[in-house]
């Protein structure tokens, strides 16, 4: 049975991913900086472990993987959903906010994947890594320079790690959600004007429930995607195809 | 038959061999009613027989997708036999490989006729059936050659695949409000008749494998599973995308 670690599993896309992968039979590790929400996710699932992790800390990421090995004996996949966002024009944005966003979204994706892939290499088998980029990995968004920089970074990070780790049979792919109905986007979606603006650029005309991102993550952590590595997979309702 | 695609009608062009055949067989196994649309009548019939032998449902229709009259006939026959079209996979393709100085006008027209015009008119016929029903899935075959040049000179082929990629984007944007998802796959080097001569020699194969981060060429089933994913409910929020399945070819 596959063992999958999901960071940011306390909320939104991470929580939906934990549910989707548990449903297909994975043992899932629900890791989040908030243990209480991770426990809520794990509590509803049959074969799940909740864990506190701060993905900005290398030590915390190693502990997460050690704990996973102790409990489940192996790790086959990691999905890095932990992420943060903060808006503000580039000329006013605070340095500590910039550092925080890069630390969680970009460096955190690397640190958590690195720990898991070290275990895969030690075990002598391959595995899969899925990183959560964003439509902002490839197009900009005014007032979100740090977030967009972090997500552009995740795309190139994932592509290059795919090259580093192909020789170990570890595939790395990047998912690019568009507008997803989660706590992260709740404020924008609640404002009718902002929601209308976002939907104008979404040909399918609706935000995705987080399960629609999770089902793509399930594909990328399965053998069905056997020849895919380093790919960017948008799940954006057609936003990148739109005028 | 039960399965992810139970009862769905899936038209697969060029399904007589190679990746199209792999896609058709997988659809058959997962419950779809398959239309094997193929220019080679024996190959098409054989694949339909294989699907039925495995307990699936299939018909074979002989069609040259570069002929609009054939395309109309394909969709009319499908509606007559199976009522509708839920899924269209535009896999039929040819590769006219030449140095630029050697292409004739006729060769250029043939390349575009099958790979571009054929895809467009199949999409048009499918859209006619899908728009009123507010549902449908279309997957076109692009290639890594829609992003970079092929490893041997074949500018007409590369151009045709670039066109397929952009056609996918524009049709997706137009059909999204009608509930139809339109995507493409971009296989890297995959072991089929199309690449047989390249992969037949030891140096040819070694060169390709050395160039692919995953250290192997693709198999038709690797690509078929990517195509079925794009046609499935799991991919419901994906449209206008060219899904790259290339073992990492495009990464550097
Ligand atoms: N919601 C959207 O519209 C959208 C669009 C594109 C991309 N994304 C990306 O998807 C991912 C998940 O977002 P979401 O919408 O589910 O957001 P969310 O806020 O609902 O969930 C993010 C989770 O990450 C956790 N987290 C934050 N910092 C952490 C840290 N240092 N260590 C461990 N966990 C930490 C949070 O506690 C939270 O549970 C993020 O990377 C986000 O950027 C979201
Ligand atoms: N093999 C590769 O490495 C590779 C890589 C990228 C993309 N592709 C693309 O994948 C698709 C399938 O290729 P393959 O490798 O399986 O090739 P293939 O030559 O093995 O199979 C192609 C099939 O299409 C049929 N066909 C050709 N012209 C037709 C027409 N006018 N009408 C109907 N059917 C027609 C052929 O008879 C054949 O059965 C093609 O679009 C090709 O360009 C192939």
The domain locations on chain A are 3-180+211-233
Which listed residue (B66, B143, B145, B160) is catalytic? Answer: B143
CB A61 within 8 A of CB A111: yes
Q: Is the dihedral of CA B246, B247, B249, B252 positive or negative?
A: positive
- Does residue B1 have a pLDDT over 80? no
Contacts for B179 with CB less than 8 Å, ≥ 6 apart: B134, B135, B136
Q: In whole angstroms, give the CA distance from residue A183 to residue A152.
A: 22
Tell me what the pLDDT averaged over chain B comes to.
98
The average pLDDT across B113-126 equals: 98
Strand partners, B38: B62
Beta bridge partners of A89: none
Q: B13 - beta bridge partners?
A: B37
Q: In Å, how far from its chain's centre is CA B91?
A: 2
- Residue environment code for B108-127, b if the CB has 16+ CB neighbours within 10 A, otherwise e: beebbbbbbbbbbbbbebbb
Cβ atoms of residues B156 and B108 within 8 Å: yes
| Cβ pair A167:B215 closer than 8 A | yes
A176 lines ligand 1 (CB under 6 A): no
Confidence band of A123 (pLDDT split at 50, 70, 90): very high
Q: What is the largest CA-CA distance in chain A?
A: 52
Residue to substitute in A5, A13, A19, A59 for testing ligand 1 pocket (most ligand atoms within 8 angstroms of CB): A13
Taking CA A99 as the corner, what is the angle to CA A98 and CA A105, rounded to the nearest 5 degrees?
A: 90
Chain A residues touching B177 at Cβ < 8 A: 203-205
For β-strands A127-132 and A27-32, DSSP reports them as: unpaired
Instruction: Look up tokens 């903060």; give the residue.
Output: A86
Q: How far apart are CA B183 and CA B165, in angstroms?
A: 9
CA-based nearest residue to B148, from B140, B139, B157, B137:
B157
Question: CA nearest B165 in A: which residue?
Answer: A241
ipTM of model? 0.90
Contacts of A167 in chain B (CB under 8 A): 213, 215
Given a cut of 80, whether residue A73 has pLDDT beyond it is yes
Whose CA is closest to atom 4 on ligand 1?
A180
Mean pLDDT, range A17-24, rounded to an integer: 98
Q: Collect all residues from A whose CB is shorter than 8 A from any CB in B.
A: 159-160, 162-163, 166-167, 171, 178, 203-205, 208, 212-213, 215-216, 218-219, 223-238, 240-243
List pLDDT tens digits, range B148-204: 999 999 999 999 999 999 999 999 999 999 999 999 999 999 999 999 999 999 999
Cross-chain Cβ contact A159/B251 below 8 Å: yes
pLDDT at A53: 98
Average pLDDT value for residue range A221-231: 98
What single DSSP character describes residue A107?
I
A240, B238: Cβ pair inside 8 Å?
no
Q: Beta-carbon neighbour count of residue A241 at 10 Å? A: 24
The tens digit of pLDDT for each residue in B30-73 reads 999 999 999 999 999 999 999 999 999 999 999 999 999 999 99
Alpha helices (H) along B4-67: 18-29, 41-53
Ligand lying closest to the C-alpha of residue A52:
1
CB atoms within 10 A of CB A6: 37
Residues across chain A: 243
Percent of chain A scored above 90 by pLDDT?
98
Distinct helix (H) and strand (E) counts, chain A: 9, 7
Query: Catalytic residue at B237?
Result: no
Query: How high is the pLDDT of residue A150?
Result: 98
Between the alpha carbon of residue B222 and those of residues A18, B187, B200, the distances in Å are 26, 9, 20
Taking 90 as the threshold, does the pLDDT of residue A1 lie above it?
A: no
CB contact under 8 A, A227 and B247: yes
Q: Which residues of B touch A (CB under 8 A)?
A: 168-170, 172-173, 176-177, 187-188, 213-215, 218-219, 222-223, 225-226, 228-229, 233-241, 243-248, 250-252
pLDDT reported for residue B71: 98
Q: Which of B213, B225, B250 is the closest to A226 by Cβ?
A: B225
CA distance B240 to B174: 10
Residue among B225, B240, B247 minimizing CB distance to A238:
B240
Alpha carbons A87 and A68: distance in angstroms, whole number:
35
- Predicted pLDDT of residue B2: 82
User: For ligand 1, is residue A153 a contact (CB within 6 Å)?
Assistant: no
Mean pLDDT across A146-151: 98
CATH class of segment(s) A3-180+211-233 = alpha beta
Q: How far apart are the first and last CA of chain B?
A: 43
When pLDDT is averaged across residues A152-178 and rounded to a whole number, the result is 98
Give the C-alpha separation, A173 to A86, whole Å.
25
pLDDT of residue A182: 98
Non-local CB neighbours of A103 within 8 Å, separated by 6+ positions: A56
């Amino acid at each position: 049975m596959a063992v999958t670690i999901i960071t940011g599993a306390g909320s939104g896309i991470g929580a939906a991913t934990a549910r989707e992968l548990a449903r297909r039979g994975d043992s899932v590790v629900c890791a989040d900086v908030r243990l209480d929400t991770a426990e809520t996710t794990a509590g509803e699932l049959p074969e799940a472990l909740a864990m506190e992790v701060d993905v900005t800390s290398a030590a915390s990421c190693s502990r997460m993987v050690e704990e996973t090995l102790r409990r489940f004996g192996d790790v086959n996949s990691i999905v890095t959903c932990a992420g943060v966002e903060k808006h503000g024009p580039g000329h006013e944005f605070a340095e500590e906010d910039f550092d925080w966003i890069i630390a969680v979204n970009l460096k955190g994706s690397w640190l958590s994947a690195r720990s898991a892939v070290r275990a895969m290499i030690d075990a002598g088998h391959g595995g899969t890594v899925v990183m959560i980029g964003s439509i902002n990995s490839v197009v900009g968004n005014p007032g979100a320079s740090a977030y967009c920089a972090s997500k552009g970074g995740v795309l190139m990070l994932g592509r290059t790690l795919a090259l580093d780790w192909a020789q170990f049979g570890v595939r790395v792919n990047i998912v690019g959600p568009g507008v997803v109905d989660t706590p992260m986007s709740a404020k924008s979606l609640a404002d009718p004007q902002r929601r209308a603006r976002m939907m104008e650029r979404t040909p399918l005309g609706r935000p995705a429930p987080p399960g629609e991102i999770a089902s793509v993550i399930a594909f990328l952590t399965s053998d069905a995607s056997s020849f895919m590595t380093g790919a960017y997979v948008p799940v954006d309702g057609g936003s990148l195809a739109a005028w | 038959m039960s399965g992810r695609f139970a009862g769905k009608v899936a038209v697969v062009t060029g399904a007589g061999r190679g990746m199209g055949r792999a896609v058709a067989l997988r659809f058959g196994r997962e419950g779809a009613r398959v239309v094997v649309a193929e220019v080679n009548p024996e190959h098409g019939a054989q694949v339909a027989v294989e699907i039925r032998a495995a307990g699936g449902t299939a018909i074979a229709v002989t069609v040259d997708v570069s002929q609009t009259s054939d395309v109309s006939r394909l969709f009319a026959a499908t509606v007559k036999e199976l009522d509708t079209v839920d899924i269209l996979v535009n896999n039929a393709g040819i590769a006219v490989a030449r140095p630029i100085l050697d292409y004739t006008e006729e060769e250029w027209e043939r390349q575009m006729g099958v790979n571009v015009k054929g895809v467009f008119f199949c999409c048009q016929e499918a859209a006619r059936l899908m728009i009123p029903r507010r549902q449908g899935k279309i997957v076109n075959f692009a290639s890594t050659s829609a992003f970079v040049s092929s490893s041997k000179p074949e500018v007409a082929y590369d151009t045709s695949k670039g066109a397929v990629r952009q056609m996918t984007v524009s049709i997706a944007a137009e059909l999204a409000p009608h509930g139809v998802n339109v995507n493409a796959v971009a296989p890297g080097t995959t072991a089929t008749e199309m690449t047989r001569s390249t992969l037949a020699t030891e140096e040819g194969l070694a060169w390709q494998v050395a160039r692919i981060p995953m250290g192997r060429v693709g198999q038709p089933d690797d690509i078929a599973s990517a195509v079925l994913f794009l046609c499935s409910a799991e991919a419901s929020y994906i449209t206008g995308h060219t899904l790259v399945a290339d073992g990492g070819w495009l990464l550097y």
